[in-house]
Amino acid sequence: MHLSISHLTRYDYSMEVRLLPHLLYLRPRDNPLMQVSGFQFTFPIAARVDWMRDDFDNLPASVQFLQNTATLEIRSACEVTTADAPPFDFLMRDYAQRFPFVYEPLHHFNLGIYLTPPEPKTQDAVRSWLAQYLTLQPADTVPFLVALNKAICSSIEYRRRDEPGIQSALETLRLSSGSCRDYAVLLVACARTLGIAARFVSGYLYDAHAVDTASGGDMHAWAEVFLPGAGWRGLDPTHGIFCDNAYVPVAHAVVAESVNPVQGSFHSVAPTTARLSVDVRVRRLG
């Protein structure tokens, strides 16, 4: 699939400010199943861009803005080609075919940070939720994950949230609602509670079923779980499906806050307000 992605983040400040260094998680990750071409940033003021690799081998841009401004626009654009690989076209180790399973020692050591369970109160809430919404639990690992993913999708009401921040899994269960990033955080908490290594993923999604697939929107979020023999596999609890070639990952991390798309601050001589607007467009080419 050949996609065009454009992303605009705009901040309007109530007065001119000095921008401090920003970290931008906006460039999709190249891998054997996804090639990125023509990526570029556009800023309305002079800026220096340095690429770096973070703790999780993501590729954020570190940006130093060289002028004061009352408006900051961060534009990024690129084309992405994703391989047409079926989401269930993978093989797992025999010992992990049935659920629950225990990772072999080397995997358990390497994945330790992704296996760390949430706090006891969240674990209790997750287990209570599972008892209510996942009463018939398949014995095989992949069908179990399919059922878990669909249970989150069907029991949590989608609600777009424009305010900053991410709900905890506990809060999402209490409200029975949330945005895509909240769904992903909940799935990660469920997986880790059950002994499955999981991480949060931020990226883009081409939605072929939307009325207007080029309409303005925001980035998407989902989760990945580590399956022995198959590696990291994406699950989207917002839609209740395993991820396919319509998903374009940008960054992953243990906690969602680590890979917020735009991270930075500003300095002003007086109290200043800021208004944020975001426009994301993902189009299929050809």
- Both structure tokens of 23: 């970290």
Arithmetic mean of pLDDT, 207-222: 67
Listed range (150-159, 182-191, 211-220) with the worst mean pLDDT: 211-220
2-83+260-284 maps to CATH 3.90.1300.10: no
Q: Give the pTM.
A: 0.92
- Both structure tokens of 170: 């506990």
| Dihedral angle over CA of 198, 201, 207, 210, nearest 10 | 90
pLDDT of residue 216: 45
Q: Could you tell me the pLDDT band of residue 164, with boundaries at 50, 70 and 90?
A: low
**Which uninterrupted H or E stretch holds 205?**
strand 198-205
Cα–Cα dist 177/171, whole Å? 9
- Both structure tokens of 169: 């899994």
For residue 212, pLDDT over 90 is answered with no
94-259 maps to CATH 3.40.630.30: no
Cα–Cα dist 262/58, whole Å? 14
Q: Could you tell me the pLDDT band of residue 197, with boundaries at 50, 70 and 90?
A: very high
Q: Could you tell me the pLDDT band of residue 165, with boundaries at 50, 70 and 90?
A: confident
Q: Domain spans of the chain?
A: 2-83+260-284, 94-259
